[in-house]
Structure 1
Amino acid sequence: MSDTRVRVEALADEFAEDARRLAAELSLPQGGDADFALQLGPLGLQCQDLEPGAGGAVRVDFVGGAAAHRRLYGGGSGQMIAKAVGIQPGVRPSILDATAGLGRDAFVLAQLGCSLTLIERQPLMAALLADGLCRGLLDADVALIIGRMRLLPGDAIGLMRAWPEEPPQVIYLDPMFPHRDKSALVKKEMRVFRALVGGDDDAPALLEAALALATHRVVVKRPRKAPCVAGATPGYALEGKSSRFDVYPKKSLKP
C-alpha cells in the first residue's frame, strides 16, 4: 500500500463492533488523518476517497448497477472475454482469476457457467470483494452465480507455485499496467486501485507461474496498445476498442 493512509469507519453505531473487528483484522486505525476510509454501513463495505472533490465510494456490488446490466444485456458467450477463456458449446473451463480485483470479470465468467477461484493479494481489496460475495449470496437472482466463485486471499505467485489442488484449465490475469500518468486515471475505481495496489511490477513472474500451472491456457488482459507482459510470447490476441486479451494456449479445450 506504500504510503497510502487508510482508516476504518462505522457509518452508524450498529456497525461499530464489525468496524472494530475489521480494523483489527487489517491492522488499520479507526481514526486520524487518512487518504481513504474503509466504511461499514447499510450498503455493506465500501472504500471512500477522502480527497476533496472525490467521487462516491467504491464497493463490490454483484446485484445491481453495472453488474446487473451486464448480466441481463451483456451478450452472453459472444463476449470477447468468453472467447478468450475458451467458452464454447459444451465447454465451460475451470478458471483461476489470479488478479481478482473487484471481481467483475470473474462474475461474468461465473454467470456463463464456469467455476472460478479468485485470488486477491491486497487485503483491503480482498475485504471489499469478500463483502460483495457475501451480499450476493443473499440475492435469489445471483446466488447461483456467486456459488460458482470462491475467494482465496493471498499472494497469487506463491499460491500458484504451491498449488495443492487439481490445476485449473485456464488462468486469467489482469495485472495493473504500470502507467503513472494521473490524467489517465479517470474512474474513481482506478484511483483506489493505484493507491492501494500500485502497479503489478511482478507481472512477468505472475505469467510464468500461471503458465506452469494452467493445463490448457493462460489469458492476460491488457490495455489495447500496451506491450505484452515480458516473458513468453502469446499465441494470439483478441483485440477490442480499449483492451485486448493475449492468449497463451497449451492444449485445446474440448467438450
Structure 2
Amino acid sequence: MSRSNVSNVSPNAETIPLAIARSPLGDDHQALSLSSDLSLPYLGVVLPKDLRHANALLFLDENGLCLQVAGKGAPGPVRAEFVTGKMGYRREHGGGSGQLVARAVGLQKTKAGLHVLDATGGLGQDAFVLASLGCRVSIFERNPVIHALLADGLARAALNMDCAPIVARMTLRAGSSIDWLTSTGEEPKTPDAADVIYLDPMFPHRDKSALVKKEMQVFRTLVGDDDDSEALLDAALAAAKYRVVVKRPRKAPAIDGPEPGTRIEGKSSRYDIYPIRALPQR
C-alpha cells in the first residue's frame, strides 16, 4: 500500500500531539508537503472520530485544510474560511466602517487607504474585514500550524470572484511580528512601517463555567497564551505611525504598559486604542 492510504504510526505507539491526515477527497500532495514543512507525521486517510493515537489533526478534506481534534465527541473542524459561513455573511451584510474593529482602526475618520499590520493574525477574520473596507493589510502569524490554516484559507478565497479583490490587499508574512516591529521601530520611519498596528493576543484563561468559542478551545490546546503581549505592545507603539489597537475581552485588564487613550466596547470584547498622532484626512 502507498503511504497515502495507510497510517505510518504503529497502533502501540505513544499518543501524538498533532499529525497530518486527510479524507479520501483531501489533497495527498498538499498533505505530504505539510508533513515535510511542519515535521509532523502523516497518517494518510483516516476518520478523525475513530483516531486514538493522535490528539489533533491538521486535516485535509474537500473543503481544504482544517484543525480537527481527534476522538468521539470532539468539537468540529476549525478552518480559515472567508467565502462561506460567518465571514461570507459578514462580507455581504456587515456594517461597513461602522463595525467595531473598523471604528477602532479609525476608518470613520479617514478616507486614506491605511496600511494595517495585524501582528497576531490567527484565522484572519479581522484582517479580512479591514481589507474588505479598503485597507492594505499585512498579517503575521508566528505559529506554523495556524499560519498553514490561514494560508490555505486565503488561497481558497483568492479563487472566489467576490473575495479575490479583498485577498489581493492582504499579505501573509512568515516569522514573528515582534522582530519586524523592532526592525521598523527606529526613527526615521521606514516606508514599510504600518499606519495602524492591530493586536489580538490570546485571551486570558476564563473560568471553567464560561463558554469558550470552539476556535479558542482548540487554539489554546495548540498555542497556549501569548506571554509576550507587553513586549509586543511596546514594539507596536514604537513602530506605528498613527495608532495601535488592542482587542481584549470586555472585562479583562489592559495589557501592562501605558494606559489606552480611549476604548470601544462591544458585548463580549473591547478595543483599547493607543493614539500616536491624528489620522490623515485623505
Residues 77-121 of structure 1 deviation map (CA, whole Å, 9 limit, x = unaligned) = 111111110113523321000000000000000000100000001
Q: Deviations over 1:36-71 (max 9, x none)?
A: 111112111111111431121111111001011111
Let me know the Cα RMSD of the aligned residues: 1.8
Amino acid aligned to 1:19: A
Measure, in 1, the Cα distance between the counterparts of 2:16 and 2:102.
35
Native 8 Å contact 1:185 1:191 kept in 2: no
Structure 2 match to 1:18: 30
Q: How far off its partner does 1:14 sit?
A: 6.2
Identity of aligned residues (%): 52
Task: Please list every run of at least 4 consecutive aligned residues from structure 1 whose deviation after the TM superposition is greater than 3 angstroms.
Answer: 180-185
Q: Which runs of 5+ in 1 are unaligned?
A: none
Say whether the 8 Å CA contact 2:25–2:62 is kept in structure 1: no
Shift of 1:183: 3.9
SS in 2 for 1:40: strand
Q: Give the alignment partner of residue 180 of structure 2, picking from 159, 162, 172.
A: 159
- Distance in 1 between the 2:71 and 2:274 partners? 41
One-letter amino acid of the counterpart of residue 250, structure 2: R
How far off its partner does 1:135 sit? 0.4
Q: 2:134 — aligned with what?
A: 113
TM-score between both structures, scaled by the size of structure 2: 0.85
Distance in 1 (CA, whole Å) between partners of 2:76 and 2:203 is 24
Give the deviation of 1:195 after TM superposition: 1.1
| 2:88 paired with 1:54 | no
Aligned to 1:83: 103
Q: How many residues align?
A: 253
- Judge conservation of contact 1:86–1:93 (CA < 8 Å) in 2: no
Equivalence map 1:127-206=2 (5 Å):
127-163=148-184, 166-179=192-205, 181-184=207-210, 186-206=212-232
Q: How much does 1:165 deviate?
A: 5.2
Q: Which has the higher contact order (CA 8 A, sep 6+)?
A: 1
AA partner of residue 156 (structure 1): S
* SS at structure 1 position matched to 2:42: coil
